[in-house]
Structure 1
């Protein structure tokens, strides 16, 4: 891999917004609609109750991911907005971002990471399973959707 830097970035930062918009477009292509209607307040990603990270590869922003404290369990970090541009895929970037998100959550005192994904995201499912995530009871905005997959892992 070339030079990869993963840095905390405000959720409303223009670079973060561009990556999140690309993530929503990708989800929209897969699922239709806006891509993800989960309510998100940008302040949820502000420390110490959350964080948002951007990965830079050779000086270009290529990936993002964040966590927010899960509202039903203050010990859990809900991972949101994991996304890697197609040009940076299959290079270890997504795993590096996931591990950085987990470390950020752990440093803030979270003991478990949880997330939602869907059956039309097989590459995300493979990433999470490779990283040690296991299926858990569905919990989030899409918990009643037939194709939702909820995962969790102790940090």
Structure 2
């Protein structure tokens, strides 16, 4: 892909967003199946229902007419959190995830946030590498609702005010 994708706002129920979420779920399920087979007490604990009312922003990376990535910004009572950063498998390693994160970080800063949080799974080494490369710091303690799933990592990033 020679040109940068366009980053546009989308709705929670946009079928392009839903399709990217399904692609992510299909990829991650096998990655975690052995962990949950060995640790059935944690099965389902990291599952969450995203309340659409808590979603402030959904961004979609689009190349031509193809949706190639997405990310969400969620408001919780005590913080803003990045959710569901996804880039389609055949579009990875092209800077799209970094571009989406830069946009969502600017969105959070424009809302007055001075820090932003995210959660990822310990077996998502590609995501962890991206976050650490782009200035996210791993927290020594997990934040709710991820404290009891046995396979989470939580991160924070200081934001530049806008």
SS across alignment from 1:96: helix
Match in the other structure for 1:114: 117
**What pairs up with 1:1-155 in 2 under 5 angstroms?**
1-32=2-33, 37-45=47-55, 50-71=56-77, 73=78, 76-136=79-139, 137-155=141-159
Give 5+ residue unaligned stretches, structure 2.
34-42
User: Deviating runs (4+, > 4 A) in structure 1?
Assistant: none
TM-score normalised per structure 1: 0.87
Structure label with greater radius of gyration? 2
Contact 2:54 2:76 in 1 (8 A): no
State the TM-score, normalizing by the size of structure 2: 0.83
Does the Cα contact within 8 Å between 1:116 and 1:140 map onto a contact in 2? no
Q: What's the Cα RMSD here? A: 1.9
